[in-house]
Amino acid sequence: MLIGQQQPLEIASKFLKAETLQAVRSSPSYSLLGWKILDRWAFNTPDRLVALEAEGEVILLGRLLEQQTIEQNVLNQAFELLQAGSAAHEILSQNEINTEL
């Protein structure tokens, strides 16, 4: 259970190498959404996240960019629903977007 407000990449920082986190933070390709995706993966499936990083930083970052793009496109299309108070995870679920690693 998470208590309180988490800072972006706080959960991911417990599992990923500092170099990987720095690459994500310093790249203009990754937005706050990408950071939240990494935290979600770290919270839900930390072992799979670490295994993906072990395959190579480029592989992990490519997978993250792909997921960020998919989720951002769906959320952009559902902007009115977000404005009306729908949660992002609900919108992604309704659009059958797999949010897990």
pLDDT digit string, tens, across residues 38-66: 999 999 999 999 999 999 999 999 999 99
User: Which residues, in sequence order, are CB contacts of 7 under 8 Å at separation 6+?
Assistant: none
Q: What is the pLDDT of residue 83?
A: 85
* pTM for the model: 0.91
Of 17, 66, 68, 9, give the one whose Cα is nearest residue 42: 9
Distance (Å) of CA 52 to CA 17, 55, 85:
12, 5, 34
Output 6 or 13, whichever has higher pLDDT. 13
